[in-house]
Homo-oligomer: A and B are copies of this chain.
Amino acid sequence: MRKQSPQTISEVQKIWHRVMSILYRSGGCSVKIPSSNELAREFGVARSTVRIALEKLTEEGFLVTRRGSGTFTNPRQRLNADWSAPLIGLMVLDCNLFFYSPELQGELECFFGEFRNTGWNIRLVTGQMDTPEAAREILTHSYLDGVISFGCKEFVVRAADEMMPTVSMGYRVSGVTNVHPDYSRVIRELFARTGRSRDIFVWSSFPDESRNDFLSTLRREPGVEIIGSPHEADIVGGGSYAAVRKLFSKRCPDWIAIHPMHLPELRRIVIDLYGEERARRLLWIFLTLPNPDPEWPGFTIRADRRAEVRAAIDILRRKLGGEAGPIPDFAVEGGMIF
């Protein structure tokens, strides 16, 4: 097989997806695909580029060439899957990740565990979606029937929603149907444990509350004041725990809402300033991952991700079924681990 020049890879990928989408919609029949010339015109690429894509597809068993009559999808290439099922895109955190963290691996376990019961085929949408145009371009060449997005940027979710049935999870995007956790009961419970619902000073290591449903709900409480570093990582970069120490020395927070990786350092600061007894009396609230220290009192805020994924699936199924009109957001009650 001849070596591709690297600049054609992306065009090749577009044509690969185009032809795969024809196969996908062929209903198990042998369908004639457009000629090389037609594909070259459609994508504005050289015929040699089209030929590389078609050679790939033939080698992979997806196409057969019949001498004199053209190139056809191979109905024998069934891959043990139902090609009549909807093809749904899963878009995770803007789709271009250097890696999935253990936390995100847990989310993916929930997604795939629930998706497998739908009968849908799933594509993980990947690519650099830095702009609305880039998102639209990637989605145009994806040939998806619908999208579930998780933690993607607003413009990415909106681009998907304009193009196909879309449900958003992870944090809320206005104008799109969202599935999100509802933490109001959890917050009532935290008020009860603090003994009041006013004059509560919260320090959070999370920079952008709009990206965290617990904090954005908390932000709306009139008796709560949240402060934190504008950039969460400020407190881990060189010397910046010092800024937190300075802040805490002026005022001891009532609640500390943090990623658990910050517990050791922050606990040391509070104990230094106010003693261990008071440090233990504060409400330590762990977001994203559980309290890492069973000896230390704390509450882990937990979304019921499985229930959220099931709700997103139900909503997407209604949208795929052509239900008219906007479908309202759906809240799944969040919980707490003590």
Q: Which residues from chain A sit less than 8 Å from chain B, CB to CB?
A: 1, 3, 6-13, 16-17, 20, 24, 28-30, 56, 59-60, 75-82, 85, 87, 97-103, 105-106, 108-109, 112-113, 115-124, 126, 128, 130-131, 133, 231-234, 236-238, 259, 261, 288
- Complex Cα–Cα for A100 and B106 (A): 18
B231 with A133: CB separation less than 8 A: no
A75 with B238: CB separation less than 8 A: yes
Q: Which residues of B contact A116 (CB under 8 A)?
A: 102-103, 105-106, 109
Q: Which residues of B contact A236 (CB under 8 A)?
A: 28, 75-76, 78
B128 with A56: CB separation less than 8 A: yes
Q: How far is the CB of A174 from chain B (nearest CB, A)?
A: 23
- Complex Cα–Cα for A120 and B20 (A): 34
A98 with B128: CB separation less than 8 A: no
A1 with B123: CB separation less than 8 A: no
Give the number of times this chain occurs in the complex, counting copies: 2
**Which of B12, B123, B233 is in CB contact (< 8 Å) with A98?**
B123
Q: Which residues of B contact A115 (CB under 8 A)?
A: 102, 105
Among A78, A98, A108, which residue has the most Cβ atoms of chain B within 10 A? A98
- Complex Cα–Cα for A185 and B77 (A): 33
B124 with A100: CB separation less than 8 A: yes
Q: Which residues of B contact A87 (CB under 8 A)?
A: 98-99
- Complex Cα–Cα for A8 and B126 (A): 17
- Complex Cα–Cα for A64 and B334 (A): 37
Which residue in chain B gives the minimum CB-CB distance to A78? B233
Q: Which residues of B contact A29 (CB under 8 A)?
A: 238
Q: Could you name 12 residue pairs across A and B whose Cβ atoms are closer than 8 Å?
A: A1-B131, A6-B7, A6-B10, A20-B98, A75-B238, A78-B233, A80-B232, A87-B98, A87-B99, A100-B124, A101-B121, A112-B112
Q: How far is the CB of A153 from chain B (nearest CB, A)?
A: 11
- Complex Cα–Cα for A77 and B231 (A): 9
B233 with A76: CB separation less than 8 A: yes
A101 with B130: CB separation less than 8 A: no
Q: Which residues of B contact A7 (CB under 8 A)?
A: 6-8, 10-11
Q: Which residues of B contact A122 (CB under 8 A)?
A: 99-100, 105
- Complex Cα–Cα for A113 and B112 (A): 10
- Complex Cα–Cα for A97 and B126 (A): 12
B123 with A80: CB separation less than 8 A: no
Q: Which residues of B contact A133 (CB under 8 A)?
A: 3
B80 with A128: CB separation less than 8 A: no
Among A118, A237, A288, which residue has the most Cβ atoms of chain B within 10 A? A237
Q: Which residues of B contact A128 (CB under 8 A)?
A: 9, 12-13, 16, 56
- Complex Cα–Cα for A109 and B97 (A): 19
Q: Which residues of B contact A77 (CB under 8 A)?
A: 233
A234 with B76: CB separation less than 8 A: yes
A109 with B100: CB separation less than 8 A: no
- Complex Cα–Cα for A82 and B236 (A): 12
Q: Which residues of B contact A99 (CB under 8 A)?
A: 81, 87, 121-123
- Complex Cα–Cα for A123 and B96 (A): 10
Asked whether A105 and B112 contact (CB < 8 A) given A7-B7, A75-B237, the answer is yes
